Structure 1
Amino acid sequence: MALAERPTTVAHLAAGPVEYRLERRAAATVVVLHGGHMRAGLALDEEVFAEAGLTVLAPSRPGYGRTPISTGTSVPGFADVTAALCRHLGISKVAAVVGISAGGPTAVALAARHRDLVERLILQCAAGPLPWPDRRTRVAAGLMFSPRTERTTWGAMRALLRRSPDVGLRFLLGGMSTLRPRRVLADLRPEHRALLVSLLGQMRSGAGFRNDLRPTGDATADVDQPTLVIATRRDGAVPFTHAQSLAATIRRAEVVESQADSHFVEFGTDWPAITEAIRIFLAADAGDIINPSSHNQPL
C-alpha cells in the first residue's frame, strides 16, 4: 500500500506564503493539521472525512513543505494564519479542526482564538499542555533534524528501509510505542507495514520539527467547542497523560481510548470503532453536544 503525494497550492497571505491542499466535496469543511515531519501533500487518516463527503483543507505548518518558517512561526500565529487561509478560500465555518500529534497545539489555538469559525475540535494522539517532548528526545531531535543533518538523517533512514525494512521499522517504532518494537512490528498487518515504509520514504522535517519542539502556551481553558480526544496508553511519542490533561482542562471534552499498540492509532484493530466515533461526533449538532459523562470519569 503506497501513499501517493497529492497536489498542493501556495496561498500568499498577509502573514506570508502557506502551502495547502483543498479537496472540495460538500459544503462542510474539516481542517486537518498533521503532525511532525508531515506536509500538506501527504494525506494520512483522512478517509473518514472523505467517506462522509466532507471537504478537507490541510495546510503545511511552518517549516514544512512550501510553508516557510517565517509564516506564523508560533502556535497562535499559525492558528491565525489558518483562519486567514479559510477566509481567503471563502470558508466561513469549519465543522471540525483536527490536530494530530504535534499539530494538536495549533488545532487547540485555532478553536480557542476563532470560536466563530470552528464548531468542533478533534485531537488525535495530540500533544497537550504538558511539557513535550522529554529532554532526551528534545536533544536527540535537535541533533538529528538540524539544518545541517536533517537531509542526511532521512537519507540514512530510507537507505536502511531499502536494505532491511524490518530493522528500519523497529528503529522507528522504538520511539512510537511503550511496548517492545519487535512485538509491535510482529502485530502489524502487511498493508500497514507497506504504508509505513511508503510514508517514511516521503517524510521530511525541514525547519518544521525543530519549531514544533519549542514550548507553546496553553489555550485549552479557552476552548468551548465540543472536543473529541483520541489516544492510546501505549503511545511512546505523546504519552497518554497528554490526553488526560486535555480532557481535564477542555470543558466539553470526550475521550475515546484506542487499544492501538503505538502512536499510529490508525493501525490498531479498533480503528473502525474509532472512525465510527468520529463520524457520530461530526454528525451530531454541535450545539446539542453537552459535557460527555466520560469527561468526569477517571481515565
Structure 2
Amino acid sequence: MPAFRAAFPERATTVARLPAGPVEYRLEGDGPRTVAVFHGGHMRAGLALGEEVFTDAGFTVLAPSRPGYGHTPPTTGTTPAGFADATAQLCRSLGVRRLAAVVGISAGGRTALTLAARHPDLVERIILQSAVGFLPWPDRLTRLGGRVVFNARLEAGTWVIMRSLLRTAPSLGLRVLLRQLSVLPVHRLMAGLSAAERATLTGLFTAMRSGHGFVADMLPVPDCAAEAGQPALVIATRHDRSVPFAHAESLVAAMPNAELVDSRADSHMIWFGPDYPRVAAKIRDFLATD
C-alpha cells in the first residue's frame, strides 16, 4: 500500500439549537481568545484544515458547518447574511463576546466578510485564504457541471466514485482533483508534494462531502466588501484555478483596510506551498498587532 493512502481524522462536533436553527460546530483549543473559521466547499466542522496556525498561537478555534454541510441543515441561515446572524447567535450562546478574527477559506470567504460587515462589534479582524469574493464564480462550465454532479441527490454518488478512485489508484485520483485547483501542469503539482502531503490531501479528499451546501455556494451573493472595515489579510496565489487571483485583487481594492499576501503556492491549497511558513508568520503577526 503506498505511503500516501491515509485517513483524514474526523473531529468531534456539537450541534447547537439556536433561534436561527441547528448549527453544527467544533470548538477546539483552550486559548483566551477565539477565531471563527468558515471552511470552504465540500468541507464541514469535523474536518480541520490549516487551523494549527491559530491553535499553536494560543487561540481557540470555533468552526461551524455552513448551511447544507455536515449537520447544519440548509434551512439554517440559508444565505451568507442569514448564517452570519446565526453565527452571532452561536457566539452569544457560547459566551464569545468578541472574535479575534473571522477566517474565510475558499467558498467560506463571503460568509466571513458578511459576518464582519453585519456584526462589526463582534469581529476584530478578517483573514481570507484562497477566498471567493464577489466577482462571478465559478465559471459557467463549472457552475453547470457542479449543479449536476454536486446536487443533493447525486453528490453522494459523486464522492463514492472519487473515494473509490482514491483508494484504488490514489496517484490518479489526486491528479484528477488537483487539476481543478491549479493553472499549472498537474505533473508539476505532484512533483512538488511530499509523501506526507499526498497522504493528507488523499485523506482530505476522501472525507469530503457536498451535501446541499456546494450548489448553494455557487449562487450570487450581495457584495459587502466595502462594508467590512476591519483590518484584513487577503491571502491568495496566482496559480489558483478554483478561485482566480482576481478575486483577491478585487477584495483588496474594495475593502477599506486590507492587505494582499501573495502566496507562492502551486494551487488553491496554500497550506502546501513552499512559502507557507512565511504566510503563517504573517498571520501570527497580524493577530498579535494591537
Name the TM-score class by shorter chain.
Answer: over 0.9
Are 1:251 and 2:218 matched, yes or no?
no
TM-score by length of 2: 0.97
- How far apart are the structure 2 equivalents of 1:235 and 1:208? 22
- How far apart are the structure 2 equivalents of 1:184 and 1:48? 23
Among 265, 273, 277, the alignment partner of 2:278 is 273
TM-score by length of 1: 0.94
**Alpha-carbon offset, residue 190 of structure 1:** 1.0
**Alpha-carbon offset, residue 3 of structure 1:** 2.5
Are 1:194 and 2:199 matched, yes or no?
yes
User: Where does 1:125-164 land on structure 2 (aligned, <5 Å)?
Assistant: 125-164=130-169
SS in structure 1 of the partner of residue 99 of structure 2: coil
Change (3 A) 1:126 1:47: same
Among 214, 221, 224, the alignment partner of 2:219 is 214
Q: Which deviations, in whole Å up to 9, do the C-alpha atoms of 1:11-31 show, x marking residues without a partner?
A: 000110000001141221000
- How far apart are the structure 2 equivalents of 1:272 and 1:263? 16
- 5+ long unaligned stretches in structure 2: 1-5
Q: Which deviations, in whole Å up to 9, do the C-alpha atoms of 1:179-226 show, x marking residues without a partner?
A: 111221121111110001101111100001011011101000101100
Q: Which has the higher contact order (CA 8 A, sep 6+)?
A: 2
Q: 2:183 matched to which residue of 1?
A: 178
- How far apart are the structure 2 equivalents of 1:183 and 1:224? 39
- How far apart are the structure 1 equivalents of 2:230 and 2:30? 24
Q: 2:236 matched to which residue of 1?
A: 231
Cα pair 2:29 2:55 within 8 Å, conserved = no
Q: Which deviations, in whole Å up to 9, do the C-alpha atoms of 1:61-101 show, x marking residues without a partner?
A: 00000000000000111011111100010000000000000
SS in structure 2 of the partner of residue 201 of structure 1: helix
- How far apart are the structure 1 equivalents of 2:135 and 2:196? 34
Among 166, 172, 175, the alignment partner of 1:167 is 172
Alignment coverage as a number of residue pairs: 285
- 5+ long unaligned stretches in structure 1: 286-299
**Alpha-carbon offset, residue 126 of structure 1:** 0.2
Q: Which deviations, in whole Å up to 9, do the C-alpha atoms of 1:93-139 show, x marking residues without a partner?
A: 00000000000000000000000000000000000111110100001
Counterpart code for 1:78: F
Cα pair 2:32 2:58 within 8 Å, conserved = no
Q: Which deviations, in whole Å up to 9, do the C-alpha atoms of 1:258-293 show, x marking residues without a partner?
A: 0000000100000000000000000001xxxxxxxx
Q: Which deviations, in whole Å up to 9, do the C-alpha atoms of 1:209-250 show, x marking residues without a partner?
A: 011011101000101100000000000100000000000000
Q: 2:75 matched to which residue of 1?
A: 70
Counterpart code for 1:235: D
Are 1:41 and 2:55 matched, yes or no?
no
Q: 1:263 matched to which residue of 2?
A: 268
Are 1:87 and 2:92 matched, yes or no?
yes
- How far apart are the structure 1 equivalents of 2:152 and 2:237? 32
SS in structure 2 of the partner of residue 95 of structure 1: strand
- How far apart are the structure 1 equivalents of 2:64 and 2:154? 25
Larger deviation, residues 30-39 vs 15-24: 15-24
Among 203, 210, 235, the alignment partner of 1:205 is 210
SS in structure 1 of the partner of residue 102 of structure 2: strand
- How far apart are the structure 2 equivalents of 1:117 and 1:168? 41
Counterpart code for 2:283: I
| RMSD after superposition | 0.8
Counterpart code for 2:124: E
Moved over 2 A (4+): none
